[in-house]
């Protein structure tokens, strides 16, 4: 009986690990929305230092290209202040609501 219990515990542990790894890789779009507002909208807004940017302004491939090459952007120094996880979360938000995504979104 004791053995069955540990097997179940190990199984639960493994399932949790897989879940966490998966969530980490994909990025958390909900958190990304918040981080985007906090770290990007400060400049990328009407009347700001840079042109206003919303998820809907690019297609998914466009966002992918931006994130693959963000070190070349004019604001790369701002990106450098964020963790890779934060960048992945922002990517999940922008990509997930891109122009050709199932739920395109514009920042209000």
- Among the listed residues 90, 96, 52, 46, the one whose alpha carbon sits nearest the alpha carbon of residue 70: 90
Minimum CB separation of residue 6 from ligand HEC in Å reads: 45
Minimum CB separation of residue 60 from ligand HEC in Å reads: 14
What is the distance between the alpha carbons of residues 21 and 51, in angstroms, rounded to a whole number? Answer: 35
CA angle 26, 30, 31 (to 5 degrees): 85
Residues that bind ligand HEC (CB under 6 A): 39-40, 42-44, 49-51, 53, 66, 73-75, 78-79, 90
C-beta of 26 vs 37, nearer to ligand HEC: 37
Minimum CB separation of residue 23 from ligand HEC in Å reads: 20
C-beta of 11 vs 51, nearer to ligand HEC: 51
Which contacts (CB < 8 Å, 24+ apart) does range 13-19 have?
none
């Amino acid at each position: 009986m004791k053995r069955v219990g540990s097997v179940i515990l190990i199984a639960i542990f493994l399932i949790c690990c897989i879940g966490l790894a998966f969530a980490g890789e994909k990025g958390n779009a909900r958190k990304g929305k918040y981080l985007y507002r906090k770290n990007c909208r400060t400049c990328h807004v009407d009347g700001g230092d840079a042109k206003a940017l919303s998820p809907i302004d690019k297609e998914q491939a466009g966002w992918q290209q931006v994130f693959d090459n963000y070190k070349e952007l004019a604001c790369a120094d701002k990106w450098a202040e964020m963790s890779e996880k934060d960048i992945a979360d922002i990517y999940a938000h922008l990509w997930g609501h891109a122009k050709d995504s199932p739920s395109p979104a514009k920042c209000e």
